[in-house]
Structure 1
Amino acid sequence: MNASQQRHYDTVEKAIVFIREHLNCQPNLSEVAEHVHLSEYHLQRLFTEWAGISPKRFMQSMTKERALQVLKTSSNLIDVADNVGLSGTGRLHDLIVSCEAMTPGDVKSMGAELIISFGEAQTPFGIAIIGWTERGICFLQFVDVSATGTVAILKEQWPLATYKQADAQGISDSIFAGSGDKVSLIVKGTNFQIKVWEALMKSHSGELFSYSQIAERIGSPKASRAVGSAIASNTIGFLIPCHRVIRGDGDVGQFRWGSDRKVAIQGWEAAQLG
């Protein structure tokens, strides 16, 4: 994604925010286009290029009624998948994600023997910082304010590791453009957190779950609040798909990288299935 594509995402995100804020009024294309200072024709074309569906279809996918219906039918779907599968009739090919926990030695040494490469990359949802070791991706966070500040978050996790700045665009393209390659993750967390993250990785693109459904899935039905905390601790965005967890009443809920980006990812995934 180049600078022009970044501007396109920024425009689409602005349109999504407007649609979301006025969802009850079901704004038409003209109203959305006026808000983002584009003609109806250009907004329709830009939005469709980005999401694969029209603004109207995207708005329909954002409705609370759809979310509630998905929640009603999702409770057992997570049982049948062993890995996350991002597949559809659009641009995405199958993407298989495996997860490996950092060894106790890695955690105890705070990464003293780890070599972590990192870099800035464009994604369909804005700029991200990606970090990886020879064993897999250990960090993916979207940048809202400062790339430097996001890199600092990575380095806080492993203060004694050796860091090397590198080109992360190829990794980003493999993840978001759908190369079909297997993606390995290296995660650092408590046993409970890892159980939550693994449950999320057994979901599929376009599925939505409540916190209580995830709690039930990991065998801790009364731990909805703890599930929320585990999701908030996730530092590997998109690949550990915490964007698929919403409130039980169908509201999109919070997201580490902004609820508007969460809605954008949900809609983008749903568009690939349609």
Structure 2
Amino acid sequence: MNPIDYSQQSEDYRRIEKAIRFIEENFRSRPTLDQIAAHVNLSRFHFDRLFKRWAGISPIQFLGTLTLDYTKQKLAESRSLLDAALAAGLSGPARLHDLFVTFDAMTPGEFKRMGAGLEIRYGFSPSPFGDCLIARTERGICHLGFVDGSNRADALSQLDAAWPGAVRVESRTDIRLIAGRIFNPEPADGSRPLHLQLKGTNFQINVWRALIAVPAGSFVTYQDMAGYIGQPRAFRAVANTIASNPVAYLIPCHRVIAKSGLIHRYRWGTVRKKAMVGWEAAGAG
């Protein structure tokens, strides 16, 4: 499989993010496409072309995926899908996703050692949602986080906080190959699934496992997730676990939204969450 260069998409995302933020801040005045384009210092024509290059759809189509009507409709559809999966032990969508992502949890002993003696290979890579930091052990990907602006030091500090006893080794080429597999919407036939190595309590592991079962283009609520793991009253603990997700995108916490249909509360920013939702909706056709 040939690696994909996401440098252009990553650069495009910076303007997409700026445009979405402008729309959020001015939604009451309903800014026109010309006004949005001007805010990111582009003509209407060039802004439209940039958006289609990044998302595959027009800005107007993209914004339609972020409306309450759309999210409520998709939430209802997703709930029906996952209710059916629940009856089969979440094996329905999970089985499909397992073709792409698998994972195992650290043993209690490994958890207690907090990564002591473990070698973690890491690197930064462009992605469709800006630069990201990816790290892996011999057993799988253990971290994926997005860089806030150009603050790579903060991104690394989050990795170190999660694995304080590990030894970091930079591996740019390896990590960019992994990024190509993560964000390529059409992985090559016969390629091995991406494997994750996760460190968490039994409760956290169960939540992250259930999250992997949520298909692209679908939504669930925090309450839904609590019900799916058999602890309907634990939705606040579920929300905290989702907020501490160590592997963004592959464990798709961006697909969890409020009961009202609002898209918010994301570790790497609400704007990035909205960008992910719209990008996946475009890919889902």
Normalization by structure 1: what TM-score?
Answer: 0.91
- How do 1:156-235 and structure 2 match up within 5 A? 156-167=161-172, 168-178=175-185, 179-180=187-188, 181=191, 182-235=193-246
Q: Deviations over 1:133-164 (max 9, x none)?
A: 11110000001052122112212222222221
Number of residue pairs the alignment of both structures matches? 266
- How do 1:20-59 and structure 2 match up within 5 A? 20-23=24-27, 26-59=30-63
Q: Distance in 2 between matches of 1:164 and 1:19?
A: 40
Compute the displacement of 1:216 (Å).
Answer: 0.9
Q: Distance in 2 between matches of 1:245 and 1:5?
A: 24
**Map of 2:277 onto structure 1:** 266
What's the % identity of the aligned pairs?
A: 43
SS of corresponding position for 1:75: helix
- Tell me if structure 1 keeps the 8 A contact 2:66–2:278: yes
Q: Distance in 1 between matches of 2:68 and 2:100?
A: 29
Q: Distance in 2 between matches of 1:153 and 1:128?
A: 12
**Map of 1:88 onto structure 2:** none
SS of corresponding position for 2:94: coil
Q: Distance in 2 between matches of 1:71 and 1:241?
A: 15
Amino acid corresponding to residue 82 of structure 1 in structure 2: A
Q: Unaligned regions of 5+ residues in structure 2, if any?
A: 86-91
Q: Distance in 2 between matches of 1:84 and 1:132?
A: 23
Question: In terms of mean alpha carbon deviation, does 97-106 or 118-127 score higher?
Answer: 97-106
Q: Distance in 1 between matches of 2:147 and 2:111?
A: 26
- Tell me if structure 2 keeps the 8 A contact 1:83–1:96: no
Q: Deviations over 1:232-261 (max 9, x none)?
A: 111111111000001101111210000000
- From the superposition, tell whether residues 130 and 241 of structure 1 become closer, same or farther in structure 2 (CA, over 3 Å): same
SS of corresponding position for 1:69: helix
Matched, 1:106 2:110: yes
Compute the displacement of 1:35 (Å).
Answer: 1.6
Compute the displacement of 1:269 (Å).
Answer: 0.4
**Map of 1:15 onto structure 2:** 19
**Map of 1:81 onto structure 2:** 93
- From the superposition, tell whether residues 84 and 37 of structure 1 become closer, same or farther in structure 2 (CA, over 3 Å): farther
CA-atom RMSD, angstroms? Answer: 1.8
Q: Unaligned regions of 5+ residues in structure 1, if any?
A: 86-93
Q: Distance in 2 between matches of 1:157 and 1:11?
A: 31
Q: Distance in 2 between matches of 1:164 and 1:58?
A: 39
Amino acid corresponding to residue 258 of structure 1 in structure 2: G
Compute the displacement of 1:22 (Å).
Answer: 4.0
- Tell me if structure 1 keeps the 8 A contact 2:9–2:54: no
Normalization by structure 2: what TM-score?
Answer: 0.88
- From the superposition, tell whether residues 63 and 264 of structure 1 become closer, same or farther in structure 2 (CA, over 3 Å): same
Q: Deviations over 1:14-65 (max 9, x none)?
A: 1122233444555332121122111111001100010011000001111011
- Tell me if structure 2 keeps the 8 A contact 1:107–1:188: yes
Q: Could you tell me which of 266, 269, 274 is aligned with 1:255?
A: 266
Matched, 1:130 2:114: no
Q: Distance in 2 between matches of 1:2 and 1:221?
A: 40
Question: In terms of mean alpha carbon deviation, does 138-147 or 264-273 score higher?
Answer: 138-147
SS of corresponding position for 1:125: coil
Q: Distance in 1 between matches of 2:32 and 2:119?
A: 51
Q: Distance in 2 between matches of 1:54 and 1:123?
A: 20
SS of corresponding position for 2:126: strand
Compute the displacement of 1:4 (Å).
Answer: 5.1
Amino acid corresponding to residue 171 of structure 1 in structure 2: I
